[in-house]
Amino acid sequence: MGHRGRDQMTARAGATGRTAGQRRVPQRARYLRRARLADLLETIVWLSVALVLALFLADSGLVEFKTVPGALTAVGIIAGLVGADLMLIQLLLAARLPVIDRAFGHDRALLVHQRLGKPVFYLISSHVLLLWIGYALTARLNIFAEIWDMFTSLPDMKVAYLGYVLLAVVVITSLVLVRRKLSYEAWHVVHFLAYAAVLAALPHQFSTGQLFADGTWARYYWLALYFGVAAALLIYRFIIPVVRTLRHDLRVSNVVIEAPGVYSIEMTGRSLADLKVRGGQFFIWRFWSRGLWWHAHPFSLSAAPGILRLKVTVRELGGGTAELGSLRIGTRVSIEGPYGLFTDRARTTRRAVAVAAGIGITPIISLLEQGDFAPGEMTVIVRAPDEKGLYLYRELQKLCTRKSATLYVLLGRRPKRGHDSWLPAREASHRMSLSTIVPQVRDADVFVCGPRDWTDLVVEDAKRAGVPRFRIHYERFSW
């Protein structure tokens, strides 16, 4: 559907009265602050693991390695300690702490959270298995007799075994093949079992063995760690969302049908400027209507946030979204957020390229509308199978005209399997790529929003084009 002429955009860019160097400084400074914060948080993670090992060794841990049974037991204890430490880090990554969101963004924090799942499970499983074997060899019992003896004689071991079973359930439901068969709400409920697993494992950690005996540094450290993580979860997952919901009193003010199965929901509230939300960010919304109140929806803003107004545009995809079009005016809305680094403040350079598929255009619109883009600095690429999939297109077109942004629209189905490409089949057959559409993409920040598999293909294309990893920002429609 075309794009605006580059000569016209260049002329307008020169009329802004600001040099490229003058405009680039804030973006670079913000990126450096975020990079330093990310490095600090990663260092803290590694230090926490090192401290766990140091506390074990300080408690005469090396002595256990004199015998084979002792060595197996010691390695099992180490595996359990490191696994527990990483599990608590997992919980913090999902706790929606502002400092983690500022450093990594919500999407990448959850990605690391997911990737830690299997290593944590393997470490805890190794802890259980090696202790069974080590204790069995020490007591000269067969392993099944030792398992039963531990279960019946050691304090709090029954609860610890229950915690391990709960952890296994969480890991199994996180597997892609299993997760796709569950609704978001069912998966979310199951994941709350992770909290139960940690609570179940906690008693045996302090009642079994000398490492956590009264008066030891290890006992104080782990108690502080557990209470700190619990406090973070309580504050940022529950208390702050409830307080914000009550304070801002969001209610549905209008519902507009944008296309069959696509609705824009406008909400009004009090003192919304205090939320400090940026275009491109998202909230987790809960609409207090019959049949909908138990659904939590992660929707990005589809318009720049106003002082009294917020807007989202959603597509019917099941899981309660089909009923959003019938929301009544005045329906109360609960919020968690705002979250995400998908904003103009994530930029490291003035030039930006935004790539969206389908309803993924919503955060791009709010980002472009509120972002500080000079004429010619923004390029928007929209993908859809046909014109019916161009949601909010007129709004986007007017916005690109007003901002003097280049707009490309690529219609058509993607290639069949075996020819993975985020582009339509025709463009893919001509070996088109992100760098052929936008030759200067390697010098730009790239914002991508769409389904998970499609987004991954765009990200890989951007990397092949020479875009550094830190300049690629994405939001994926998945959980």
| 406-460 confidence digits (pLDDT tens) | 999 999 988 876 568 899 988 887 888 999 999 999 999 999 999 888 999 999 9
Per cent of the chain over pLDDT 70 is 89
Q: Are 435 and 442 in contact (CB under 8 A)?
A: yes
Q: What is the average pLDDT across 226-239? A: 94
Q: Are 92 and 232 in contact (CB under 8 A)?
A: yes
Q: Which of 128 and 316 is assigned the larger pLDDT?
A: 128
Q: What is the average pLDDT across 348-377? A: 91
Q: Is the pLDDT of residue 204 over 60?
A: yes
Q: Is the pLDDT of residue 106 over 90?
A: no
d(CA 121, CA 164): 9
Least Cα distance to 162 among 146, 174, 151 occurs for 151
Least Cα distance to 81 among 45, 51, 116, 113 occurs for 51
pLDDT of residue 105: 85
Which band of pLDDT confidence, cut at 50, 70 and 90, is reported for residue 14? very low
Lowest mean pLDDT among 184-188, 290-294, 470-474: 184-188
Q: What is the average pLDDT across 218-241? A: 92
pLDDT of residue 296: 83
Q: What is the pLDDT of residues 213-227, one digit of tens each?
A: 777 888 889 999 999
Among all chains, which residue has been given the structure tokens 């004429």? 375
Among all chains, which residue has been given the structure tokens 């179940």? 200
d(CA 342, CA 375): 20
pLDDT of residue 169: 81
Q: What is the average pLDDT across 183-202? A: 74
Q: What is the pLDDT of residues 254-271, one digit of tens each?
A: 999 998 889 999 999 999
pLDDT of residue 319: 60
Q: What is the average pLDDT across 355-367? A: 93
pLDDT of residue 230: 93
Lowest mean pLDDT among 16-25, 96-105, 228-237, 274-283: 16-25
Mean pLDDT of the chain: 85
Q: What is the average pLDDT across 76-85? A: 92
What secondary structure, in 3-state letters, does the chain show? CCCCCHHHHHHHHHCCCCCHHHHHHHHHHHHHHHHHHHHHHHHHHHHHHHHHHHHHHHCCHHHHHHCHHHHHHHHHHHHHHHHHHHHHHHHHHCCCCHHHHHHHCHHHHHHHHHHHHHHHHHHHHHHHHHHHHHHHHHHCCCHHHHHHHHHHHCCCHHHHHHHHHHHHHHHHHHCHHHHCCCCHHHHHHHHCHHHHHHHHHHHHHHHCCCCCCCCCHHHHHHHHHHHHHHHHHHHHHHHHHHHHHHHHCEEEEEEEEEECCEEEEEEECCCHHHHCCCCCCEEEEEECCCCCCCCCEEEEECCCCCCCEEEEEEECCCCCHHHHHHCCCCCEEEEEEEECCCCHHHCCCCCEEEEEEHHHHHHHHHHHHHCCCCCCCEEEEEEECCHHHCCCHHHHHHHHHHHCCEEEEEECCCCCCCCCCCCCHHHHHCCCCHHHHCCCHHHCEEEEEEEHHHHHHHHHHHHHCCCCHHHEEEEEECC
Per cent of the chain over pLDDT 90 is 47
Q: What is the average pLDDT across 22-36? A: 72
Q: What is the average pLDDT across 80-108? A: 91
Q: Is the pLDDT of residue 15 over 50?
A: no
Q: Is the pLDDT of residue 398 over 90?
A: yes
pLDDT of residue 16: 35
